[in-house]
Structure 1
Amino acid sequence: MDHDATRTGILDAAEELFYAQGIQTVRMDAVRSASGVTLRRLYQYFPSKGELVEAYLLRRDGRWREELAAHVVGAAAGPGGRILAVFDWLADWFAQPDFRGCAFVNAFGELGATAPEVAAAARHHKDEFAAYLAGLAEAAGAPPATGAHLTLLAEGAITAAAIRGDATPAAEAKGAARVLLRAAGVQGVEV
């Protein structure tokens, strides 16, 4: 394997294990085994578990936000429709059989108090998601606070879906977003 393929394989294995089982329960030997590299090779790429966790979170952040943005652009016409498309994407994500909630909230809950890099990665992800929603709200002509309100709806839906084990919080949050946007005078959010 070349350098990039080996690193990708390690991160793929780490992501699957960390997200499914939790970061603290997964030992580096399990990542080694799942990725098919030697323990020595694993530590050449990631000298500590903390570095592997940080790389996993940063990569997941980029992919998550790219997938969301691609869906929103491809799924909706008009600024109001793009905002509502966020909740459709969340519904699809929640319906995945491996959905275990927000990886960043999960990681922060496990390690945020003791691992500054985990806390920073979680904050970065949440800040970027909030900024994305604020940008969508601004493009739709909504008042400035609307982005923060949409963020709370989306974050609440993510948490509720993880706890309840079903995708209905996305539709519930989308309904609340529709009411919020109509009250703000945003076009393209009719029932």
Structure 2
Amino acid sequence: MSSHEVPSPVESPAPTDASMDSVRNTVIEAADQLFYERGIQQVGMDELRAAAGVSLKRLYAEFEGKDAIVLAVLRRRHAMWVRGIDEAADRYEGGREKLLGIFDFLATWFATDDFRGCAFINAFGELGGSSERVAQAAREHKQSFQTYVDGLVADLGAPETLARQLVLLAEGAQTTSAITGDPTAAQHAREAAEVLIAAATAPA
């Protein structure tokens, strides 16, 4: 399992044919948009069925319930996050630049019109107290990011504490930008990250 992979709690059953796969993807995409824009608990199954263009019977044939749809959406969001972080890192050479590239990725994301914060933080805030599977999915997503940053920091030869500090900056920037609507939180976090990296890698 790679440092980016999310274990079984957010995995959904494998489709048995292309048609089922297509229906599942349509439902997940519709749910992702509705949940992210309005919140999970504000979206009912009838509304989701209508948005996806499927019958309620077919919806329940694909997913055992709303929690299963939420978990599938989170798995999709995790894949989007991993892809974005990896693509950002690929633009740079060297550990320092790759670490700062995380904040460049955040800056681009925060500036999009549909940015509503971290879907995992949002889901945990709504359902973390009532759904252990959703809470676990959120924990595992965050841990996978921490593990990824741990690896970059280790490659840089810097102390492990730097990785913890950088992840806190990235997580804090997501929450701050979502609440304030100000995308410059990513730039402020990047500037703080530069200071931390310089201090952690300065010659003794």
TM-score bracket, normalised by the shorter chain, equals: over 0.9
In structure 2, distance between residues paired with 1:21 and 1:38:
22
Deviation at 1:186, TM superposition (A): 6.7
What residue number does 1:61 align with? 78
> What SS does structure 2 have at the residue aligned with 1:132?
helix
> What secondary structure does 1:184 align onto?
helix
Of 10, 23, 26, 1:9 maps to: 26
Letter in 2 for 1:180: L
Contact in 2 for aligned 1:140/1:186 (Cα 8 Å): no
TM-score normalised to structure 2 length: 0.88
The residue that corresponds to 1:131 in the other structure is 147
Work out the percentage of aligned pairs sharing the same amino acid. 47
* CA gap 1:92/1:45 in 2 versus in 1, 3 angstroms: same
Structure 2: runs of 5 or more not aligned: 1-17
Q: Are the counterparts in 2 of residues 57 and 104 from structure 1 also a CA contact under 8 Å?
A: yes
Residues 57-80 of structure 1 show CA distances to partners (whole Å, capped at 9, x for unaligned) of 12211221122112211x212111
CA distance in 1, matches of 2:22, 2:175: 33
Aligned length: 186
Among 121, 136, 144, the alignment partner of 1:120 is 136
Spell out structure 1 runs of 4+ moving beyond 3 A.
none
Is contact 2:88–2:98 with CA below 8 Å preserved after alignment? no
Mark the runs of 5 or more structure 1 residues left unpaired by the alignment: none
1:180 paired residue number = 196
Query: Is 2:40 the partner of 1:30?
Result: no
Bigger RCO of structures 1 and 2 (CA < 8 A, at least 6 apart): 2
Q: Deviations for 1:87-109, whole angstroms, at most 9, x for unmatched residues?
A: 00000000110000011111111
